[in-house]
Amino acid sequence: MKKTTTKLADGRELLYFDADETAVRDAPDLRPLEPVTALSEIRRDPVTGDHVTVAAHRQGRTYLPPPDECPLCPSRDGRLSEIPAADYEVAVFENRFPSLARDAAAHVPGRPGPLFDLAPGAGRCEVVCFTADHDASFADLSEERARVVLDAWTDRTAALSALPGIEQVYCFENRGAEIGVTLPHPHGQIYAFPFVPPRTSRITARAAEHREAFGRNLFDDVVAAELADPVRVVIAGRHWTAFVPFAARWPYEVHLYPNRRVPDLTGLSEDERAEFPGLYLDLLRRFDRLFDGAGPTPYIAAWHQAPAAHRDELALHLELFTIRRAAGKLKYLAGVESGMDAFVNDVSPEGAAERLRAVGR
C-alpha cells in the first residue's frame, strides 16, 4: 500500500491510500479556505458521570448536498471539493466540522464550578472516503479495495493513538438516510477521544467482573461459547467469527471477532488481514439482501478497540447492526430505550442468525 500525506488549503491533513504503488496524488487544494475554528467542549454529567461533547459550531456543516456538489467526490471539471485529486482509491482527511479538535483548548473557558466539570474537546475527527464513486457503497468494493480501507483504519489507529491525551480510537460507518447520514457518498469517520466513552467503560467493568469471577478473559469465553453452540453463528472463517450476540439489542445485529484476541487493529496478523475483506463484504451483502425491495439496508458498523488503559483485557471487534426490523419498518428508540437505556428487541437473536445465514450466496 502507498500512503501520500498532504495538506488542504486551510491546513488540515489529507492522506491518500492506494494499492497502486505508482499512484501520484499531488494536486493542490486551490480553494480559498479560512482556518477551521473548533469550539468543542466536553462536559461531564454530574448525575451519571458520562462525558458529553458540546460542539455548537457543527450546526453549519454541509447537509444533503446535490450530487454535483458533493464535497467527498474528487475535484473534477472545475468543481473543487475536499479531495483535490481527480481520482482516488481511499482518502482520509481531518473533518472541517469536527466534534473534537486539537486546538479546542484555546476556546474553552475555565471550570464553571465544583459540580460542573468542563474540559476542551481536544481530540481529532477524520473522514474516511472508501471510494471516489459517489453512487457506490462499501458492499460494492472489491476485496482489494476493502483491504486498502482496512489498512487505512489501521494506519490511523496507530497514528491517533500516539497523540497526547487520546484515550480511545473509534472507527465507524453510518450508512443510510434513516441513520441520519448527511453526506450519501460512501464514507466513514474516525474519532480520537480524549476520554473513555460510556459504553467502553461499561464493557471494561464487565470484563473485570468476569476475570474476578472466573479467572478468564470475557471475550475469549464469549467467542468460544458461540462456536461451541453455533446457533447464532452467521459466518465462521479460519481467523474470524461473525455471530448474532445472545442479547442483541437491534433487530439484526452481528458481532465480528478475530478468533485470536488482539486489542486493536494494529494487532492483526497478515493472515487475519487477508481474510477480513471477503468475510466483511459477505456480511454487508447479506444485510442488503435481508429486505427485498426495501432498498439498501441502513446500518452502523462500529469498530470497538481497547482504550489506552485496558489493552490486556478488551478485545477488538466490529459491531454491525441495522435499525430496520422489517421491510418498510424501522426500530425507533422510544421511551424505554431512550429514557432508560433498556432495549426491547422484536426479533430473536437465533431467528436473526437463521435469516442472515439463509440470505448468503
Contact 118, 41 (CB under 8 A): yes
Residue 33 DSSP code:
P
Burial status of residue 127 (CB atoms within 10 A of its CB: 0-12, 13-18, 19 or more): buried
pLDDT of residue 108: 61
pTM above 0.85, yes or no: yes
Per-residue DSSP letters for 192-218?
EESS--HHHHHHHHHHHHHHHHHSS-H
State the catalytic residues. Answer: 187
Residues 251, 182 share a domain: no
Q: Identify residue 217 by its one-letter amino acid code.
A: N
CB count, 10 Å around CB of 144? Answer: 11
For position 110, what pLDDT does the model report?
A: 65
Average pLDDT over residues 281-299: 94
Which CA distances in Å does 299 have to 67, 125, 147? 21, 20, 20
On whether both 332 and 217 belong to a single domain, the answer is yes
Which of 178, 195, 212 finishes a domain?
Answer: 195
Cell numbers for 319, please give them: 459491531
Residue 35 and residue 13 share a domain = yes
Dihedral angle, C-alpha 270, 307, 163, 197, nearest 10 °: 130
Least confident of 1-15, 91-105, 300-314: 91-105
Residue 268: pLDDT above 80? yes
What's the pLDDT score for residue 113?
75
Last residue of a domain, one of 137, 168, 195: 195
User: pLDDT above 90 covers what percent of the chain?
Assistant: 83
- For residue 245, pLDDT beyond 90: yes
Which residues share a beta bridge with 189?
127, 172
SS3 175: strand
| Same-domain check for residues 111 and 185 | yes
Whole-angstrom distance, CA of residue 294 vs CA of residue 28: 41
Residues 301 and 303: their CA atoms lie apart, in Å, by 7
**Which pairing describes strands 324-326 and 41-44: parallel, antiparallel, or unpaired?**
unpaired
User: Rounded mean pLDDT of the chain?
Assistant: 94
Which residues, including other chains, have CB under 8 Å from residue 10's CB and lie 6 or more apart?
33, 34, 35, 36, 96
Q: In terms of domains, do 173 and 233 share one?
A: no
173 plus 260 within the same structural domain? no
Domain end point (choices 195, 223, 247): 195
Give me the pLDDT at residue 66, please: 86
Residues 172 and 235 in one domain: no
* Tally of domains in the chain: 2
Residues 309, 202: contact at Cβ < 8 Å? no
Asked if 240 and 259 count as a contact pair (C-beta separation under 8 A), the reply is yes
Residues 159-169: tens digit of each pLDDT = 999 999 999 99
Residues 266 and 134 in one domain: no
19 and 130 together in one domain: yes
Q: Which domain holds residue 354?
A: 199-358
Does residue 312 sit in the same domain as residue 205?
A: yes
In CATH, what number is assigned to the domain containing residue 101?
Answer: 3.30.428.10
Q: Are 297 and 202 in contact (CB under 8 A)?
A: no
Q: Are residues 136 and 172 in the same domain?
A: yes
Domain co-membership, 93 together with 121: yes
Judge contact between 125 and 189, C-beta under 8 A.
Answer: yes
